[in-house]
Structure 1
Amino acid sequence: MRTSRMRGSLRTRICAKLGEKSALQYKKLGDSDLVISEITFGTMTFGEQNTEKEAHGMLSYAFERGINALDTAEAYPIPMSKETQGKTDLFIGSWLKSQPRDKVILATKVCGYSERSSYIRDNAKVLRVDTANIKESVEKSLKRLGTDYIDLLQIHWPDRYVALFGEFSYDPAKWRSSVPFVEQLRAFQELIEEGKVRYIGVSNETSYGVMEFVHAARVEGLPKIVSIQNSYSLLVRCRFEVDLVEVCHPNNCNIGLLAYSPLGAGSLTGKYIDSNSEPARKGRLNLFPGYMERYNKSVAREATIEYLELAKKHGLTAVQLALGFVRDRPFVTSSIIGATSVEQLKEDIDAFLITERPLPPEVMADIENLFKRYKDPAIL
């Protein structure tokens, strides 16, 4: 009886919010003066799954609803290919022509080390995060985007070897020499002095990398990173929570987390549970075989089913639970939300606005109990 009353009470509180007018919240990003919306619009489907017209429609809808930041990269759209590379930026650039530039926080990323993406540079067999690569990347991004400055320039993944994209542990045998942290920061400093970049950040980074960047900046008087863009969701927590939370804390390095894949590549919506459903067939995990397959592995799938049941128990949708969880974490500055339609985008934004803030203690208690059984099931 008590459980039933708790569920009913929670549903009442959530439903009451449906009729309320709400607005997105905004936070300062690290040590910068960028005040960023708690949702950043991710654009990596533009040019692959979305046309230019569709991209413009979603961008306009996002900014009309209060989102003031968008995330792109020189590598986009994803999956990466020589034929489509840069289309995302071109679609954003054509939209930006009709927007007040100072109202848009534009974040992009320079590729990290890669032996397979040399087509991104004019004369390079291997991509590196050195001065020449960084400067060429920025010049090309500015041209595609049709702007003369970037608000936040991030390193998409490190120049050195790190365990990436679902890889569980660091393999010492894969160590390789890399561009010194100081050299990377000096290149960014030159771009900042030229007025082409305002602030810098990192992505897919570790505590070691963050501390080395912060230390180099402090000792050499170079620009300090203000953000870190890492994966974070109900299915991927430990990588950030174990020690990056301490490193990035405002009283320590004060670096804001831009959490990507808060819906676990769409898996936490539950659309992949029935593999024969239309949403599953049209989803990225099935459209691009091998893409982020870690989210569809047996243990991750099992955990997702449990989280779907948890959401149902508390009168929440799967999207409300997943996005509400990330939204409420004190170390998250903004969640990067992607969509392939205005309808998807609306559902995601609404989840931020109508889901009780913060999630009730009984919901969090159930989440933590599940976490004890499924610690990062999407890490292979």
Structure 2
Amino acid sequence: MTTYRRLGRSGLHLFPIGLGTMQFGWSADEQTSFDIMDAYAAAGGNFLDTADIYSNWTPDNPGGVSEEIMGRWMKARGNRDQMVVATKVRGPMGPRGSEGRGTIHQREGLSRRWILKACEDSLRRMQVDHIDLYQAHWVDNQTPIEETLAAFTELVQRGYVRYIGCSNYSAWRLMQALWASDRHGLESYVSIQPEYSLLSPTRANFEREQQRVAVEYGLGVVPWSPLGGGMLTGKYRRGQPLPDSVRASENAARRFSDQNFDIVETLVAVAERHQAHPAQVSLAWLLAQPAVTAPIIGANSVEQLRELLGTVDVQLTEDDLAEITRVSDWERARTEREI
């Protein structure tokens, strides 16, 4: 039986693997998205993570499409109360270029004005009366952190939001926010969503500072891109040609290095011992790290999702964890580069 994990010191308990929905309405159409969420829920999954801007980088998409698909699915299935719904605010929303220069800045950021409006818009798109985890997508240097936290606090007091979190914050920004919450009696972040995987430098960036803050102050960690853009799935091998896909050529190839291929080969070896897949071993390693609650994965098909959900059945030994940690050690990589 799967054990659900408490998100930091909050009252939220999450399935060990979160389902990211950036693909919905982009690389996965609505029916495929419904099928993926059906399979996730059937496996016991309860943590759906989205953002208001998904996926406004595609043509004729003003953002909010992923939230709308999630909302229609929850309404059709009648399972809102079984899901932990997480979304984010910060990025620009709406069509660009037609309202005049500067107007776009009225529809983004972490000001009180924008947070209150963006939250109401997300609630409407998802057809829900509250958001379980409302996250600052990234820092807004134009807005004082006290204003941002006061706006989040107001949303909690109104009952629109249950808990607040942040994504892509540096350690000092996170500490600034925690200090401001404590000093002014405002709602405090209960989680951080960083890029974190076995790959250096993403591993180094997190473990040097943010992880220590999370452990010390009881924040849950829900990493994005836990498979390193596909590098840790094992489909990219040293000296072999790239798969015939746009993602392979544009995303994974930039992560190719001797150490990263060493990591992949180690994952393959450990996976073979457990009759598992390298991606499952990579996620299982993450789940064993301090403060990590639930890595967030994406899927474009039910088959892909089911393979990743198999992570919950993988039990790595202390020797397995030590072997993977050793080969992926970013301090070793830095020392070898200096030599």
Task: Please indicate, yes or no, whether the TM-score normalized by the shorter chain is above 0.5.
Answer: yes
What is the CA distance between 1:239 and its match in structure 2? Answer: 1.5
Write out per-residue CA displacement over residues 93-115 of structure 1, whole angstroms, 9 at most, x where no aligned residue.
Answer: 11010222211100000025x6x
Residue type at the aligned position of 1:296: A
Q: Residue 204 of structure 2: which of 238, 243, 259 is its match?
A: 238
Range moving further from structure 2, 141-150 or 237-246: 237-246
- Structure 1's 50 and 24: CA in aligned 2 closer, same or farther, altered over 3 A? same
**1:293-314 CA distance string (max 9 Å, x none):** 3x4226x343342223213333
Tell me the equivalent position of 1:346: 306
Aligned to 1:66: 44
Please say if residues 52 and 64 of structure 2, whose CA atoms lie closer than 8 Å, have aligned partners that are also in contact: yes
- Post-superposition Cα deviations, 1:136-194, rounded to whole Å, max 9, x if no partner, equal 2111111111111111000111112xxxxxxxxxxxxxxxxx21111001111111111
Q: Select 1:205's aligned residue among 166, 169, 172.
A: 169
- CA distances 1:106-130 after superposition (whole Å, capped 9, x unpaired): 0000025x6xx66489994222210
Provide the aligned length of Structure 1 versus Structure 2: 318
User: Which blocks of at least 5 consecutive residues in structure 1 are unaligned?
Assistant: 1-22, 161-177, 376-380
Question: How many Å separate the matches in 2 of 1:156 and 1:120?
Answer: 20
CA distance in 2, matches of 1:193, 1:231: 30
1:109 to 88, 101, 105: 88
Secondary structure of the corresponding residue to residue 212 of structure 2: helix
Change (3 A) 1:24 1:374: farther
Q: Hey, what does 1:284 align to over in structure 2? A: 247
Q: Percent identity over the alignment? A: 33
Give the TM-score normalised by structure 1: 0.78
Write the deviation string for residues 27-66 of structure 1: whole angstroms up to 9, x where unpaired. 2112221111111111100001011111011101101101
* Aligned residue among 219, 239, 263 for 1:307: 263
Match of 1:361 in 2: 318
Unmatched tracts of structure 2, length 5 or more: 335-339
Q: Structure 1 counterpart of 2:269, which letter?
A: K
Q: How much has 1:248 moved relative to structure 2? A: 1.1
Superposed, 1:1-380 pairs within 5 Å as: 23-77=1-55, 79=57, 83=61, 85-97=63-75, 98-112=77-91, 119=95, 124-126=103-105, 127-160=108-141, 178-235=142-199, 236-249=202-215, 252-273=216-237, 274-277=240-243, 280-281=244-245, 284-286=247-249, 289=250, 293=251, 295-297=252-254, 300-314=256-270, 315=272, 316-353=276-313, 355-356=314-315, 359-372=316-329, 373-374=332-333
Q: Cα–Cα, structure 1 residues 320 and 90, in superposed 2: closer, same or farther, change >3 Å?
A: same
Structure with higher helix content: 2
Q: TM-score with structure 2 length normalisation?
A: 0.87
- State the secondary structure of the residue aligned to 2:163: strand
| Amino acid paired to 1:45 | Q
Amino acid at match of 2:214: C
Letter paired with 1:157: W
Q: 1:100 to 1:75 in 2, by over 3 A?
A: same
CA offset at residue 272 of structure 1?
A: 4.2
Supply the RMSD in Å over aligned alpha carbons: 2.3
